[in-house]
């Protein structure tokens, strides 16, 4: 037999082993092992050569102690594809294995050695195919026999197989590529790579190969050089280190493992390495939690011996005392004394600072009101109010009329001094449900509000006026949505616009709105119910509700808005509002009247121009030139005829033509 490149040395070993009797201590002690033969059956292997490979496998199996609890054997052959002859769980007697090997029919195609190793790793050595689990530490051995150069890559897949715990022996015959054999085999290569000159010598080589698969204690036979311990494997050995140490690159010496070095310990504060393991430690003033990784600060205050008058605050070094706001910690470090905050801070109050326990606030002289900044004082604002308009978006309004309602809203906005410190405007639409279109604190200019109004989409469906009032009281006039505190004396005005009877009860939430200080105006159009409008309106009712027969004439709601809101001086009546609030309400009425007056004039011109066009049209004829009775009354009133109250007021019987 000739071995290349280790053939001379291996031949000498074989001759020596054959010439001298083996001591009893070196008697073959096979198994348990999991062995898979990976046999090349490509077209370059001639039939009589393949027969020699059969005998090679049969001879090796004949000297193994096979069985379910001893050595298990599997065989696969490959060429351009891989074929499983029998797996590790198929046969447990030499006779069955020999019969199966003799029945192999060569594939006679290409040489896909990498594919065969991949199959060996992913299939042949799985528990499902009969391999024992890794934790049982039974060696997994693959014997690859090939006669040519692989037609695919073997380096990467062989590395993966070795990393998976498979020990690979590479046996090359005749034309086999030594570089590929070395890429396949496990280290040390001199013990796992063999090159046999011819198929005739492979059976003779098998005898020597059997010794490597036997249970000879290679750690005893060799000068292994392991620093800690040597582990014998069939035909080889490897070094292991004691717990807490790792094997160095020379695969023999050992060094302590720093378990904290890789940064995966998860310790929140400190990692302490100890002989291959680690433990977590916390900084002073902290304790280790049950997860043995995270830390929590020690609650020194919970010990109950802090003597703090107000609050105890735990810190890593112990604890300290803290006083409530408006109090100062005394030199003893535990007691507290009240502080005059007005003397100790730059309060910025224009008139006077008033200290309360733990806080302070500014006040203004009688007749002036506190500004929005909570510090300055001013006389009455120019009609500044918090105004929420609640508009009916039910199905009966219809889309074209809803656009008129939005124009009505924007005309009111045009005459308001909108700003965060001036008038704030919010809009709510309702039908069967309620939707805040924008709250009081959403927009800070009239242009922003008008743009938002024109983008409002018509809701349709029912008329739940009571639900809308509830929403207005609970949400729209809350400080969260931009209403200013009641202490600022900024009037809160709710203007409800509806065109029909409510489908729910309005009485309770209309009452609550007025009791909460909201001045309620009710505007009805078309089929609106007078009793409901009166229930919504603030006292005096006649000054806070209005009605129009239809949407095109709703601009004639001037009458009610002309009346004063605040009691007049000299009447002997009780003053129920501050002067500033009354002035703001009067200013709001004045602005609203101006809007309605402008819209009224535009409607009169629209009617006159329409009739003029009708008279001049030959297609319409003379019948179209006649005004309807209601229109004639409206025009007469609008031009000043038949009503001593002025040219901008419609007759009362026209404005309040309710269906009772």
**pLDDT tens-digit readout, 17-30:** 333 343 333 334 45
Q: Are 510 and 522 in contact (CB under 8 A)?
A: no
pLDDT value of position 624: 38
| Chain centroid offset of residue 609 CA | 62
> pLDDT at position 26, please?
36
Q: How many CB atoms lie within 10 A of CB 181?
A: 24
Mean pLDDT of 444-448: 92
Structure token pair of residue 164: 């998976």
- Which residues does residue 390 pair with via DSSP β-bridges, in sequence order? 428, 496
Give residue 199's pLDDT. 61
Average pLDDT for 289-304? 91
Q: Of 188-197, 287-296, 605-614, 619-628, which range is least confident?
A: 619-628
pLDDT for 632 beyond 50: no
Residue 30 has a pLDDT of: 52
Q: Where are the beta strands (DSSP E) in 499-630?
A: 518-525, 545-548
Q: Please give the pLDDT value at position 16.
A: 33
In 426-442, which positions are buried (b, 16+ CB within 10 angstroms) versus exposed (e)? bbbbbbbebebbbbbbb
For residue 567, pLDDT beyond 50: no
> How far apart, in whole angstroms, are the C-alpha atoms of residue 463 and residue 501?
7
Strand pairing partners for 55? Answer: none
- As a whole number of angstroms, the distance between CA 583 and CA 375 comes to 22
Give the pLDDT of residue 601. Answer: 57
- What would the mean pLDDT of 552-581 be, rounded to a whole number? 44
Residue 553: band (very low, low, confident or very high) from pLDDT cuts 50, 70, 90: low
Within 8 A by CB and 6+ apart from 405, the residues are 391, 392, 397, 497, 551
pLDDT band at 182 (very low <50, low <70, confident <90, very high): very high
Find the mean pLDDT for residues 354-376. 76
Q: At what angle do helices 629-638 and 579-615 cross, to 10 degrees?
A: 120
For residue 629, pLDDT over 70 is answered with: no
pLDDT of residue 159 exceeding 50:
yes
pLDDT of residue 11: 37
Stated length of the chain: 660
So what's the pLDDT on residue 324? 86
Tokens of 260: 């904290």
- pLDDT of 210 > 80? The answer is no
Give 385: exposed, middle or buried? Use CB within 10 Å, 0-12, 13-18, 19+. buried
Query: What's the pLDDT at 599?
Result: 55
* β-sheet bridge partners, residue 378: 369
Greater pLDDT, 101 or 49: 101
Whether pLDDT at 264 is above 90: no
Mean pLDDT of the chain: 78
pLDDT at position 614: 54
Res. 87: pLDDT tops 90: yes
**pLDDT score of 615:** 56
pLDDT for 634 beyond 50:
no
What is the per-residue pLDDT across 232-241, written as a single tens digit (0 to 9) for each?
776 678 899 9
Contact status, residue 169 vs residue 57, Cβ threshold 8 Å = no
497 closest CA partner among 432, 425, 559, 551 = 551
Residue 61 CA, distance from chain mean position: 61
Q: Which helix (H) or strand (E) holds 311?
A: strand 311-315
Nearest to 413 by CA among 399, 423, 403, 401: 423
What pLDDT is recorded for position 291? 93
Phi/psi of residue 186, nearest 5 degrees: -80, 155
How much is the pLDDT for 610? 56
Instruction: Check residues 7 and 511 and name the one with the higher pLDDT.
Output: 511
Over residues 158-174, mean pLDDT? 92
Taking alpha carbons only, the member of 56, 80, 29 closest to residue 145 is 56
Residue 25: what pLDDT?
A: 36
Burial 548-568 (b: 16+ CB within 10 A, else e): bbebebbbbbbbbbbeebbee
More confident residue, 592 or 42: 42
Determine if residue 18 is left, alpha or beta; phi over 0 gives left, psi from -120 to 50 gives alpha, anything else beta: alpha
Q: Which residue has the higher pLDDT, 617 or 646?
A: 617
pLDDT > 70: what percent of the chain?
A: 73
- Cα–Cα distance for residue pair 342/339, rounded to 1 Å: 9
- Between β-strands 295-297 and 286-288, what pairing exists: parallel, antiparallel or unpaired? antiparallel
Gyration radius of the chain's alpha carbons: 51
pLDDT at residue 215, rounded to an integer: 55
How large is the average pLDDT for residues 520-532?
Answer: 87
| Residue 500 contacts residue 525 (beta carbons within 8 Å) | no
Instruction: Tell me the mean pLDDT in the region 218-238.
Output: 80
pLDDT at 203 over 80: no
Local confidence band at 156 (pLDDT 50, 70, 90 cut-offs): very high
The reported pLDDT for the residue numbered 278 is 86
The confidence score (pLDDT) of residue 625 equals: 39
What distance in Å separates the CA atoms of residue 90 and residue 73, rounded to the nearest whole number?
9
249's CB contacts (< 8 A; 6+ apart) are none
Instruction: Look at residue 574 and tell me whether its pLDDT is greater than 50.
Output: no
pLDDT in tens, 380-431: 545 578 999 999 999 988 998 899 889 888 887 877 788 888 889 999 999 9
**Mean pLDDT value across residues 255-283:** 86
Report the pLDDT value the prediction gives residue 56, as an integer from 0 to 100: 85
Flag whether pLDDT at 637 surpasses 80.
no
pLDDT, residue 608, reads 56
Least confident among 208-217, 389-398, 520-529: 208-217
Q: Which residues pair with 161 in a beta bridge?
A: none
Say if residue 96's pLDDT is above 80. yes
Question: Is a pLDDT exceeding 50 seen at residue 9?
Answer: no
Closest to 49 measured CA to CA, from 41, 57, 38, 60: 41
What is the predicted pLDDT for the residue at 99?
A: 96
558 versus 361: which is more confidently predicted?
A: 361
pLDDT for 565 beyond 80: no
Helix ranges (DSSP H) in 63-199: 94-102, 113-119, 155-163, 178-184
> Residue 579 is encoded by which pair of tokens?
């002067």
Q: Say how many C-beta atoms besides its own lie within 10 A of residue 544's C-beta.
A: 24
């Amino acid at each position: 037999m000739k071995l290349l490149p280790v053939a001379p040395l291996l031949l000498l070993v074989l001759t020596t082993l054959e010439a001298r009797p083996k001591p009893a201590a070196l008697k073959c002690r096979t198994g348990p092992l999991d062995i898979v033969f990976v046999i090349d059956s490509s077209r370059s292997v001639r039939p009589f050569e393949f027969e020699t490979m059969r005998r090679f496998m049969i001879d090796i199996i004949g000297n193994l102690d096979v069985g379910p609890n001893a050595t298990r054997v599997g065989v696969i052959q490959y060429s351009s594809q891989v074929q499983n002859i029998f797996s590790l769980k198929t046969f447990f007697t030499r006779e069955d294995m020999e019969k199966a090997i003799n029945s192999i029919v060569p594939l006679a195609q290409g040489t896909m050695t990498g594919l065969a190793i991949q199959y060996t790793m992913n299939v042949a050595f799985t528990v499902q195919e009969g391999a024992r689990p890794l934790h049982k530490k039974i060696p997994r051995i693959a014997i690859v026999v090939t006669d040519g150069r692989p037609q695919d890559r073997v380096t990467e897949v062989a590395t993966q197989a070795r990393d998976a715990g498979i020990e690979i022996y590479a046996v090359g015959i005749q034309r086999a590529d030594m570089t590929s054999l070395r890429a396949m085999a496990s280290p040390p290569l001199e013990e796992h790579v063999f090159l046999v000159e011819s198929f005739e010598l492979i059976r003779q080589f098998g005898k020597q190969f059997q010794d490597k698969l036997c249970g000879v204690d290679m750690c005893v036979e060799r000068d292994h050089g392991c620093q800690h311990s040597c582990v014998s494997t069939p035909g080889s050995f490897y070094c292991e280190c004691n717990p807490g140490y790792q094997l160095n690159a020379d695969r023999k010496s050992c060094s302590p493992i720093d378990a904290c070095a890789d940064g995966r310990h998860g310790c929140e504060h400190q990692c302490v390495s100890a002989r291959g393991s680690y433990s977590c430690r916390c900084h002073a003033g902290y304790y280790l939690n049950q997860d043995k990784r995270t830390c929590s600060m020690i609650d020194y205050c919970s010990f109950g011996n802090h003597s703090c008058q107000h609050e105890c605050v735990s810190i890593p070094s112990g604890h300290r005392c803290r006083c409530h706001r408006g109090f100062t910690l005394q030199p003893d470090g535990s007691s507290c004394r009240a502080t005059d905050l007005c003397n100790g801070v730059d309060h910025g109050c224009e008139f006077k600072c008033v200290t309360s326990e733990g806080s302070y606030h500014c006040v203004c002289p009688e007749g002036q009101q506190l500004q929005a900044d909570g510090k300055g004082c001013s006389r009455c604002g120019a009609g500044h109010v918090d105004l929420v308009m609640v508009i009916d978006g039910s199905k009966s309004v219809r889309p074209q009329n809803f656009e008129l309602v939005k124009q009505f809203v924007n005309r009111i906005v045009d005459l308001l001094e909108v700003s965060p410190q001036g008038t704030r405007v919010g809009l709510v639409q309702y039908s069967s449900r309620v939707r805040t279109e924008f709250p009081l604190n959403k927009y800070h200019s009239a242009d922003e509000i008008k743009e938002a109004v024109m983008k409002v989409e018509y809701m349709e469906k029912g008329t739940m006026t009571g639900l809308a009032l509830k929403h207005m009281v609970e949400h729209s006039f809350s400080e969260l949505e931009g209403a200013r505190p009641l202490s600022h004396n900024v009037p809160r005005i709710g203007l409800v616009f509806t065109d029909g009877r409510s489908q729910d009860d309005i009485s309770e939430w209309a009452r609550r709105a007025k009791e909460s200080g909201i001045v309620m105006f009710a505007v009805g159009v078309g089929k609106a119910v007078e009793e409901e409008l009166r229930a919504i309106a603030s006292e005096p009712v006649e000054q806070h509700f209005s009605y129009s027969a239809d949407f095109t004439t709703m601009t004639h709601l001037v009458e009610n808005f002309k009346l004063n809101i605040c009691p007049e001086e000299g009447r002997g009546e009780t003053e129920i509002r501050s002067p500033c609030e009354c002035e703001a309400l009067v200013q709001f009425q004045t602005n609203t009247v101006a809007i309605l007056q402008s819209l009224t004039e535009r409607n009169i011109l629209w009617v006159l121009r329409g009739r003029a066009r009708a008279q001049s049209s030959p297609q319409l004829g003379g019948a179209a030139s006649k005004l309807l009775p209601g229109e004639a009354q409206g025009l007469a009133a609008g031009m000043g005829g038949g009503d001593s109250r002025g040219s901008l007021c419609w007759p009362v019987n026209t404005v309040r033509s309710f269906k009772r």
